[in-house]
Amino acid sequence: MQYAHDFYEYKIKRFLTDVALGMTPSKVWTGIYDATGGYLVVKEDGEVLCYHIYNRNQFEDYLFANSKLETASSSRHEFGKIYEDNGNYFFKLNLQVRFI
Report the Cα–Cα distance between both ends of the chain, in Å, rounded: 32
For 53-76, what is each residue's pLDDT tens digit?
778 898 899 999 999 988 877 777
**d(C-alpha 66, C-alpha 7), whole Å:** 19
User: pLDDT-based confidence at 48, cuts 50/70/90?
Assistant: confident
pTM of the model: 0.70
Q: Rounded to an integer, what distance in angstroms lies between the CA atom of residue 95 and that of residue 85?
A: 22
Average confidence (pLDDT) over 38-60: 83
Exposed/middle/buried for residue 7 (C-beta within 10 Å: 0-12, 13-18, 19+): exposed
